[in-house]
A and B are shown apart, each in its own frame.
Chain A
Amino acid sequence: MRYLFIFSLFFFLISCSSEVFDNSEREGERDDIYLSTYNPSSSGDVLVKGGRVLTGTGEELLSADILIKNNVIHEIGELIEPSPNTKIINAEGKWVTPGIIDIHSHMGVYAAPSLRSNSDGNEATSPVTPHVWAEHSVWTQDTQMPLALKGGITTYHVLPGSANLFGGRGVTLKNVWSKTVQGMKFPEAPYTLKMACGENPKRVYGSNQEPSTRMGNVAGYRAAWIKAKEYKDNKNATRDLKLDTLEGVLNGEILIQNHCYRGEEMAIMIDISKEFNYKITTFHHAIEAYKVADMLAENGICAAMWADWWGFKHEAFDMVWENVAIVDQAMGGSGCAIVHSDSGIGIQRLNQEAAKAMAAGNRAGFEIPRKRAIKWITKNPAKALGIDDRVGTLEKGKMADLVIWDSDPFSVYAKTEIVLIDGIIKYDHSDPNSPKPTDFELGIISPNENRL
């Protein structure tokens, strides 16, 4: 059902966005609403015993205990003594990784089932729509969410589509069931802004309206940044939702997530960011990142990539299996490589996608061990979302988001056994009622039969 992806990409297109708490004192602006209301109950003490641990920091521990206290990782070590009330999870013979993070998802905004009535991922009515926020489209009962949980996804970033030069704000969510989007929002995660290069924005608006060419795209970005600069410098200007978002980028509060396939377009986007003095955090899809890997590393820009998708459009024609590895190894291993899904299918097995990218890199002569490759789906996306101080690695003080796998997660045969979010079991393979079905799935097969 990659057609979900194709559908969104080709006909509605994809972009991304973010939300700001900017420091300006413009009349009417408030930073105390739209906040996360996610507040997990206390996990108590949990001890994950004896697993083979890929920490996400670049280390592999052959047998380690992980002690969680009150939703947070308290200690990682050998033979940690539990207190009497500690819940013990035996992970001997299993593998343990940080919770998997997908930096490019459309869960909730392009949901399953995919119906005209819930195709809410792209405001493809104008090339410049930084005022729309993906979180205002999220359907919390999307059936893709529990499937992603079963695949080890604990945090994901929902982006608007790519039909626009500026597609709107993205939102980072914890993969927890909630009646409200606010109840899923990753607390105090920075907002993001989706921008898009190339074929998608230039195709959507017809031949009589800009942009219809790549140079039209670039003129459109620059014109919008000029307005944003004026707005930033004039606190008396009437409040404008579009410019609020762009101003947040110029203030360094909103992170740019930039859909961009071609090497030369990434170079131009970097020039534009220098002209207007903002930072590009991540290039998404980045099929040709391997051609400009050093440039990305020099500029401190991450690339979020697939392991092997290609050929659906011209700008995706030059795919190489080694793309992720080449970005990772750029400039003496200082590159920031991310494996993303952009798909309700791929998000269920980012571990396999990372495995393919690792194997291809190693066949090309690199020596990339699992303990490094796991960062592509944990630490690096956390960094590119501005939440690496709280998730992405298994370290003291981090949120206790972790996955226990029945075997080597870099194998097609590996399955998750237990997924913990903030120290609380959200998926347990031995529980037939897990993961919790969405509202949509209740009784949908028959009056007595849920989906899953």
Chain B
Amino acid sequence: MKIVYTFLAVTLANFLFSESLLFKNASVYTGNADEVFEDHDIYVVNGKIVEINKDLDLSADKIINAEGKIITAGFISPYSHLGLVEINMLAETRDDSSSVYSAGFSISQAFNPSSTLIPYNLNGGLTSAISTPSGNGLFSGLGSAFSLSGENESLLLKDLALYGSIEAGGESKAANLLLMEDIFELTRAFNGDLDKIQDHALPKSFEYSKRDLMAIKRVLSKEIPFVVPVNRASDILSVIEFSKNQNIRLVIMGAAEGWRVAKQLFESKTPVILEPINNLPTSFDNLGSKLENAALLNKAGVRLLISSDRWETHNAYLSRQGAGIAVSYGLPWNVAVNALTKNVSETFNIPDRGSLTIGHEADLIVWDADPLEVTSFAEQIYISGKLMPSNTRSLMLRDRYLKRD
């Protein structure tokens, strides 16, 4: 009987009383002001941020002494295949592409919250990620945002952007832009009747299902952005022109030569997903790539999002190192952190995340030192106020073989 009472009491407590956390005396970077607030406290109730201020005199279920630590919002990967891939080279471990669907391919059902990459990248500092389809076509599909909590309910925002490429199929980029234009025009006229598609006479090899056209319709209505990887200055201008004519929300990925057309990127309000670590002229399309790109784009007023190298899903958290390198080449520190957090959530409309704001989810990280520094670690990671486990498969392997004298 006593056990039953205890059980009831605990259940009741959980039901009636909220759980509260109080982080004391941290250096807090909220994302809402340029500076870091020293000796600030953060009060979290029921997984949401309730107050951020000095000397909060509040009682809490748990008080975390964060003196000498930096607290930021959890970082958000703007581009990776997290949850969709285990081993890059092994197709049987990949769930991120479709040859049947194009624009309409949603990866939202493919996400595996138990992937080994998720606790690993979580402990690298990512609390959420936009996972994207991969593919070589004109359109590879729709990406979604996920929490990296490892729980079954990880989906944060479904089908938040369409991904495409003008480098598909060995065609001239100009031909691909024409094709995109034709398909967008077709979609504009499309009202759900597949027979109508025939009227628009696309090249024979291009077949679009209703699902594909409905995805493009969401781009045309400006509900979701269209993400296009492009590097050459002239190609960036072509894509900006295309987005103006189609009246859509464009996000550019890569933009190695972005600094050469920074003014146009700013004027067209085009956000850019940068991989700041990539400065090699790997092709004739990115001969102008350089480490100063991030700083120059920021100076021109372009909104930046920072990603790891797009091929590096396994180390998506190394966006932190890329941000640090961008800072060493002139990008202000706070802008770099925003590019890892709020600029991602705002660009893709992921609600209540990306900054330490009253009412937002308490996705936050207690860092042992500057989070952009390569020698720093995330000490404690919270998602919606819940302390995440710090173990990973990699740490378990280490501990099996590590001999500590």
Q: Mark A347-359, 1 if CB is under 8 A from B, else 0.
A: 0110010011011
Give every chain B residue within 8 A of A348 (Cβ-Cβ): 279
Task: Specify which of A147, A310, A356 is in contact with B280 (CB 8 Å cutoff).
Answer: A147
Q: When the two chains form their complex, are residues B282 and A6 in contact, meaning their CB atoms are under 8 A apart?
A: no
Q: When the two chains form their complex, are residues B318 and A308 in contact, meaning their CB atoms are under 8 A apart?
A: yes
Q: Whole-angstrom distance between the alpha carbons of A365 and B210 in the complex? A: 58
Selected interface stretch from A163-171, A273-281, A406-414 = A406-414
Q: When the two chains form their complex, are residues A412 and B87 in contact, meaning their CB atoms are under 8 A apart?
A: no
Task: Specify which of B86, B90, B117, B321 is in contact with A412 (CB 8 Å cutoff).
Answer: B321
Q: Whole-angstrom distance between the alpha carbons of A310 and B372 in the complex? A: 21
Q: When the two chains form their complex, are residues A326 and B280 in contact, meaning their CB atoms are under 8 A apart?
A: no
* Chain A, interface SS category: loop
Which residue of chain B is the closest to A343 with respect to CB atoms? B280
Give every chain A residue within 8 A of B288 (Cβ-Cβ): 445, 451
Interface residues of B in 117-166 (CB under 8 A from A): 117
Interface residues on A, range: 35 or more
Task: Specify which of A1, A291, A310, A321 is in contact with B282 (CB 8 Å cutoff).
Answer: A1
Q: When the two chains form their complex, are residues A415 and B328 in contact, meaning their CB atoms are under 8 A apart?
A: yes
Q: Whole-angstrom distance between the alpha carbons of A115 and B117 in the complex? A: 32
Question: Is B312 in contact with chain A by the CB < 8 A criterion?
Answer: yes
Q: Whole-angstrom distance between the alpha carbons of A237 and B5 in the complex? A: 92
Task: Specify which of B284, B321, B325, B328 is in contact with A113 (CB 8 Å cutoff).
Answer: B284
Question: Is A10 in contact with chain B by the CB < 8 A criterion?
Answer: yes
Q: Knowing A411-B375, A412-B325, A412-B328 touch, does A311 contact B86 (C-beta < 8 A)?
A: yes
CB distance from A327 to the nearest CB of B (A): 11
Question: Is B271 in contact with chain A by the CB < 8 A criterion?
Answer: no
Q: When the two chains form their complex, are residues A412 and B373 in contact, meaning their CB atoms are under 8 A apart?
A: yes
Task: Specify which of A1, A291, A444 is in contact with B287 (CB 8 Å cutoff).
Answer: A444
Q: When the two chains form their complex, are residues B281 and A143 in contact, meaning their CB atoms are under 8 A apart?
A: yes
CB distance from B79 to the nearest CB of A (A): 14
Question: Is B238 in contact with chain A by the CB < 8 A criterion?
Answer: no
Give every chain B residue within 8 A of A313 (Cβ-Cβ): 87-90
Q: Knowing A4-B282, A451-B281 touch, does A320 contact B321 (C-beta < 8 A)?
A: no
Q: When the two chains form their complex, are residues B312 and A414 in contact, meaning their CB atoms are under 8 A apart?
A: no
Give every chain B residue within 8 A of A322 (Cβ-Cβ): 398, 402
Q: When the two chains form their complex, are residues A1 and B280 in contact, meaning their CB atoms are under 8 A apart?
A: yes
Q: Whole-angstrom distance between the alpha carbons of A352 and B309 in the complex? A: 16
Question: Is B246 in contact with chain A by the CB < 8 A criterion?
Answer: no
Task: Specify which of B88, B279, B328 is in contact with A311 (CB 8 Å cutoff).
Answer: B88
Q: Whole-angstrom distance between the alpha carbons of A321 and B315 in the complex? A: 12
Q: When the two chains form their complex, are residues A345 and B402 in contact, meaning their CB atoms are under 8 A apart?
A: no
Q: When the two chains form their complex, are residues A10 and B89 in contact, meaning their CB atoms are under 8 A apart?
A: yes
Question: Is A34 in contact with chain B by the CB < 8 A criterion?
Answer: no
Give every chain A residue within 8 A of B86 (Cβ-Cβ): 311
Task: Specify which of B277, B281, B372, B374 is in contact with A355 (CB 8 Å cutoff).
Answer: B374
Task: Specify which of B90, B280, B287, B328 is in contact with A445 (CB 8 Å cutoff).
Answer: B287
Q: When the two chains form their complex, are residues A113 and B282 in contact, meaning their CB atoms are under 8 A apart?
A: yes
Q: Knowing A352-B374, A412-B321 touch, does A364 contact B282 (C-beta < 8 A)?
A: no
Which residue of chain A is the closest to B373 with respect to CB atoms? A412
Q: Whole-angstrom distance between the alpha carbons of A10 and B311 in the complex? A: 13
Q: When the two chains form their complex, are residues A4 and B374 in contact, meaning their CB atoms are under 8 A apart?
A: no
Question: Is B327 in contact with chain A by the CB < 8 A criterion?
Answer: yes
Q: Knowing A322-B398, A452-B290 touch, does A345 contact B375 (C-beta < 8 A)?
A: no
Q: When the two chains form their complex, are residues A113 and B401 in contact, meaning their CB atoms are under 8 A apart?
A: no
Q: When the two chains form their complex, are residues A312 and B88 in contact, meaning their CB atoms are under 8 A apart?
A: yes
Q: Whole-angstrom distance between the alpha carbons of A4 and B280 in the complex? A: 10
Interface residues of B in 246-284 (CB under 8 A from A): 277-284
* Chain A CB within 10 Å, residue with most, of B281, B290, B315, B328: B281
Q: Knowing A113-B287, A413-B327 touch, does A344 contact B375 (C-beta < 8 A)?
A: no
Question: Is B314 in contact with chain A by the CB < 8 A criterion?
Answer: yes
Q: Whole-angstrom distance between the alpha carbons of A410 and B375 in the complex? A: 8
Question: Is B4 in contact with chain A by the CB < 8 A criterion?
Answer: no
Give every chain A residue within 8 A of B402 (Cβ-Cβ): 290, 322, 326, 364-365
Q: When the two chains form their complex, are residues B394 and A319 in contact, meaning their CB atoms are under 8 A apart?
A: yes
Q: Knowing A114-B283, A290-B401, A313-B90 touch, does A355 contact B375 (C-beta < 8 A)?
A: yes
Q: When the two chains form their complex, are residues A311 and B87 in contact, meaning their CB atoms are under 8 A apart?
A: yes
Which residue of chain B is the closest to A263 with respect to CB atoms? B401
Question: Is B397 in contact with chain A by the CB < 8 A criterion?
Answer: yes
Give every chain B residue within 8 A of A10 (Cβ-Cβ): 89
Task: Specify which of B89, B282, B309, B375 is in contact with A112 (CB 8 Å cutoff).
Answer: B282
Q: When the two chains form their complex, are residues A356 and B87 in contact, meaning their CB atoms are under 8 A apart?
A: no
CB distance from A410 to the nearest CB of B (A): 7
Q: When the two chains form their complex, are residues B321 and A359 in contact, meaning their CB atoms are under 8 A apart?
A: no
Q: Whole-angstrom distance between the alpha carbons of A413 and B314 in the complex? A: 24
Which residue of chain A is the closest to B322 with respect to CB atoms? A412
CB distance from A267 to the nearest CB of B (A): 14
Question: Is B377 in contact with chain A by the CB < 8 A criterion?
Answer: yes
Q: Mark A162-196, 1 if CB is under 8 A from B, else 0.
A: 00000000000000000000000000000000000
Q: When the two chains form their complex, are residues A144 and B280 in contact, meaning their CB atoms are under 8 A apart?
A: yes
Q: When the two chains form their complex, are residues A365 and B404 in contact, meaning their CB atoms are under 8 A apart?
A: yes
Give every chain A residue within 8 A of B277 (Cβ-Cβ): 345
Q: When the two chains form their complex, are residues A113 and B283 in contact, meaning their CB atoms are under 8 A apart?
A: yes
Q: When the two chains form their complex, are residues A344 and B398 in contact, meaning their CB atoms are under 8 A apart?
A: no
Q: Whole-angstrom distance between the alpha carbons of A308 and B277 in the complex? A: 15
Which residue of chain A is the closest to B278 with respect to CB atoms? A1
Give every chain B residue within 8 A of A356 (Cβ-Cβ): 374-375
Give every chain B residue within 8 A of A143 (Cβ-Cβ): 280-281
Which residue of chain A is the closest to B395 with respect to CB atoms? A320
Question: Is B229 in contact with chain A by the CB < 8 A criterion?
Answer: no
Q: When the two chains form their complex, are residues A344 and B87 in contact, meaning their CB atoms are under 8 A apart?
A: no
Q: When the two chains form their complex, are residues B377 and A363 in contact, meaning their CB atoms are under 8 A apart?
A: yes
* Chain A CB within 10 Å, residue with most, of B314, B327, B377: B314
Q: When the two chains form their complex, are residues B397 and A318 in contact, meaning their CB atoms are under 8 A apart?
A: yes
Q: When the two chains form their complex, are residues A345 and B280 in contact, meaning their CB atoms are under 8 A apart?
A: yes
Give every chain B residue within 8 A of A115 (Cβ-Cβ): 283
Give every chain A residue within 8 A of B311 (Cβ-Cβ): 2-3, 6
Q: Whole-angstrom distance between the alpha carbons of A363 and B87 in the complex? A: 27
Q: Mark A409-448, 1 if CB is under 8 A from B, else 0.
A: 0111111000000000000000000000000000011000
Question: Is B385 in contact with chain A by the CB < 8 A criterion?
Answer: no
Q: Whole-angstrom distance between the alpha carbons of A308 and B321 in the complex? A: 12
Q: Knowing A359-B374, A413-B324 touch, does A1 contact B309 (C-beta < 8 A)?
A: yes
Which residue of chain B is the closest to A344 with respect to CB atoms? B280
Which residue of chain B is the closest to A329 with respect to CB atoms? B403
Give every chain B residue within 8 A of A2 (Cβ-Cβ): 309, 311-312
Q: When the two chains form their complex, are residues B278 and A345 in contact, meaning their CB atoms are under 8 A apart?
A: yes
Task: Specify which of A113, A312, A321, A352 is in contact with B87 (CB 8 Å cutoff).
Answer: A312
Q: Mark B366-385, 1 if CB is under 8 A from A, else 0.
A: 00000011111100000000
CB distance from A249 to the nearest CB of B (A): 30
CB distance from B391 to the nearest CB of A (A): 13
Q: Whole-angstrom distance between the alpha carbons of A349 and B326 in the complex? A: 13
Give every chain B residue within 8 A of A309 (Cβ-Cβ): 314-315
Interface residues of A in 272-322 (CB under 8 A from B): 290-291, 293, 308-314, 317-322
Which residue of chain B is the closest to A363 with respect to CB atoms? B377
Q: List 5 A-B contacts (CB under 8 A).
A: A290-B402, A311-B313, A345-B278, A352-B321, A412-B372
Known: A291-B401, A313-B90, A320-B395. 20 other contacts (CB 8 A): A2-B311, A3-B282, A6-B88, A6-B311, A112-B281, A113-B283, A113-B287, A114-B283, A290-B401, A309-B314, A311-B314, A314-B89, A314-B90, A322-B398, A326-B398, A345-B280, A359-B377, A410-B375, A412-B324, A444-B287
- Considering the complex of A and B, which 4 residue pairs feature the smallest CB-CB distances, nearest first? A412-B324, A311-B314, A359-B375, A320-B398
